[in-house]
Structure 1
Amino acid sequence: MLPVRRCAAVLAVLVTTTLLLAGCGGDDGQGSNADPDQVDAVEKPELGACRMLTPDDVAAASNASKVVDCADEHTAQTYAVGGLPDQLSDAGYDDEKIGAWAYDTCAKQFEDFLGADESLVMRTVVSWAWFRPSEKAWEDGARWYRCDVVGGGEQSKAYVPLPEETKGLLLGKPDDQWMVCAAGPSVSGSVKIPCTEAHDWRAISTVKLGEPKDPYPGDRLSQVKTRDFCSEQVAAFLNYPVDYDFGYTWFHEAEWQAGNRRSVCWARTNA
């Protein structure tokens, strides 16, 4: 008898890409607990620095939150800093090209820093944010970027504390506290939580829908390919039961243009 495969939900929202690509332009604040010496700093930020960031802090273009000892409680750590490439030196403060370049740069270094591949970083509760100088510092010639790993994603109301050292966090078989699960009757609209908490769904794999230079295949093809692949992936993950539920998260053209080429497969399971 063939297994009964029920599609539980579709979540058509990219957790981080659109927000991070946009760069959250404007200087509406420099973050909670701002350090006056960092607010309009022209020099590059400190690599490896830890901070207590909130989702509101990450929603700003710039951040000057005070650095804390990484042995103390913190929710963010800077994993990459540097100068913008020469071709962007004359770009406007909110130029989308800067956001696109920062997205590509921070995303690649995020994978390398955590010891993960593209699939794994889409299934972890940690994410990344990037910051640019303040508008005043920009006018004074500052052209740096800063990438931080943070203990949560776009849907997080608060971030979880990170370990003293986050480098290599996802090497080998990652601990469940860093992997994403969901609590709720369906994947869509459910609360995304660490897999160490009581949950109904686990993100178990991703499906690659295309290569970097490929054109967007269209909503229908993206959804169907995701659905069919995830059905088989979840069946294998659950050891081919007669009856099972699965969900999938697929993304639209805006996220494709931002660089995302993968959908996420979810298995209904409490383990």
Structure 2
Amino acid sequence: MAHPRSRARPGTSRRALLAPALLLAALLTGCGGAAGDGGGDVDEAAADSVETPELGACRVLTPEDVARPSDATEVVDCAEPHTAETFAVGDLPDELHDEAWDSPELGKFAYGTCGEAFQSFLGVDESRVMRSVVSWAWFRPSEQAWADGARWYRCDAVGGGEASASYVELPRTARGMLRGAPEDRWTVCADGETVAEADKVPCTEPHTWRAVTTIKVGEPADAWPGERLVEVTSRDFCSSSVGAWLNYPLDYEFGWTAFGEGQWEAGNRRSICWARTDR
């Protein structure tokens, strides 16, 4: 329930049900396309390598690169402009070694493994990560390397999210970059009449909405509670939380981003709350 001195204008609370179907499909199964056929030059020697990738390597990746299941973009010096940094690598667990190269089970493993490592790498919790303009992508070996026995994974921090048309340059290292009060250039806002229809932008750019908090709508072991319960829980919490963030004005507008069953099955248990504001 909202604070007694605050209320959302009737009919102006914003529902933001961003269906991340394409993101989830890429996460769980990967999309087609040649490895590395995107932003940077392709390292032909690494394209079908069975060797585990280098931890801490930097690359110039694009959204097109991230949409592919495998990547062989050349490594660049991290002192040079780059949009991606490898923050975790390792071998897939034994129980996944006999899975198909494009098995959704690999994506489920990556969701938990890369997601937890990403929070540790940036030095923040899941809520802060979801309200930033940086995200992570994971890559598996090429189909040929998989056939040759490669069973590694690679997690990269990237300067953008699933809605980004292009990525921004990262610092020399992204490690710890969101600790404390992160700069507005790394915080996500939205510019549009509704959150669902708005372009997601860094908060240094003109905007009408800011992601101010998140709500945990379930525990890891919980079964999918249904879209209606997730929506109502998200709406009620965001109404109160955004009112508090705005210091309890008499009238305000708020929105929320609630994710669907597919994201729940992949491991996400949070919704995002948005405040209508230009600050």
TM-score by length of 2: 0.93
Aligned with 2:253: secondary structure?
A: strand
Q: CA deviation at 1:30?
A: 2.7
Shift of 1:104: 0.9
Q: Distance in 1 between matches of 2:26 and 2:245?
A: 32
Match of 2:103 among 67, 91, 95: 95
Match status 1:244 vs 2:252: yes
Deviation at 1:31, TM superposition (A): 3.1
The residue aligned with 2:113 is: 105
Superposed displacement of residue 220, structure 1: 1.0
Query: Cα distance 1:16–1:159, how it changes in 2: closer, same or farther (>3 A)?
Result: farther
Residue 37 of structure 1 and its aligned partner are, at CA, apart by: 1.3
Paired with 2:154 and 2:93, the residues of 1 have a C-alpha distance of 14
What residue identity is the alignment partner of 1:31? D
Aligned to 2:24: 18
Q: Matches of 1:50 and 1:154 in 2, distance apart? A: 20
Contact 1:20 1:103 survives alignment (8 Å): no
**Unmatched runs of 5 consecutive residues or more in structure 1:** none
How far apart, in 2, do the equivalents of 1:211 and 1:16 lie? 24
Amino acid at match of 1:247: G
Q: Which of 232, 236, 239 is equivalent to 1:231?
A: 239
In structure 1, the partner of 2:80 is 72
Deviating more after overlay: 87-96 vs 150-159: 87-96
> 1:180 touches 1:193 (CA, 8 Å); kept in 2?
yes
Residues 138-164 of structure 1: CA deviation (Å, up to 9, x unaligned): 111111000000000111000011000
Q: Which amino acid aligns with 1:62?
A: S
CA distance in 2, matches of 1:236, 1:133: 47
Question: 1:202 corresponds to which residue?
Answer: 210
State the SS of the aligned residue for 1:9: strand
* Structure 1 CA distance for aligned equivalents of residues 28 and 191 of structure 2: 29
After superposition, where does 1:35-50 map in structure 2 within 5 Å?
35-50=43-58
Q: Which letter does structure 1 place at the counterpart of 2:19?
A: V
Identity of aligned residues (%): 55
The residue identity in structure 2 corresponding to 1:141 is G
Q: 2:34 aligns with which of 28, 35, 51?
A: 28
Q: Match for residue 178 of structure 2? A: 170
Note closer, same or farther for the CA distance 1:109–1:168 as it changes in structure 2 (3 Å cut). same
TM-superposed deviation, 1:188 = 0.8
**SS of structure 2 residue aligned to 1:137:** helix
Give ranges in structure 2 of 5+ residues lacking alignment: none
Contact 2:42 2:74 in 1 (8 A): yes
Q: Which residue of 2 aligns with 1:140?
A: 148
What aligned pairs does 1:139-158 form with structure 2 within 5 A after superposition? 139-158=147-166
Equivalents in 1 of 2:278, 2:147: separation in Å? 52
Residue 163 (structure 2) pairs with residue 160 (structure 1)? no
Alignment deviations for residues 105-149 of structure 1 (CA, whole Å, 9 cap, x no partner): 111101110011011111010000000111111111111000000
Match of 1:265 among 246, 261, 273: 273
Deviation by residue 1:164-216 (Cα, 9 ceiling, x = unmatched):
01001111111111110000111012100011111110000001111001111
Q: In structure 1, how many angstroms separate the alpha carbons of the residues matched to 2:21 and 2:31?
A: 18
Distance 1:231 1:27 in 2: 43
Q: For residues 105 and 28 of structure 1, what CA distance do their matches in structure 2 show?
A: 25
Deviation at 1:20, TM superposition (A): 4.6
Matched positions, count: 271
Distance in 1 between residues matched to 2:227 and 2:54, nearest whole Å = 42
SS for the counterpart of 1:38 is coil
Q: How does 1:107-126 map to 2 (within 5 A)?
A: 107-126=115-134
Question: Does the residue aligned with 1:36 lie in a helix, a strand or coil?
Answer: coil
CA distance in structure 2 between the aligned counterparts of 1:234 and 1:249, rounded to whole angstroms = 13
Counterpart residue identity of residue 161, structure 1: E
Q: CA distance change for structure 1 residues 19 and 179 in 2, over 3 Å: closer, same or farther?
A: farther
Question: Are 1:4 and 2:12 an aligned pair?
Answer: no
TM-score, length basis structure 1: 0.96
CA contact (8 A) 1:39 1:63 kept: yes
RMSD: 1.5
2:228 is paired with a residue of what secondary structure? Answer: helix
In structure 2, C-alpha distance between the alignment counterparts of 1:193 and 1:154, rounded to whole Å = 12
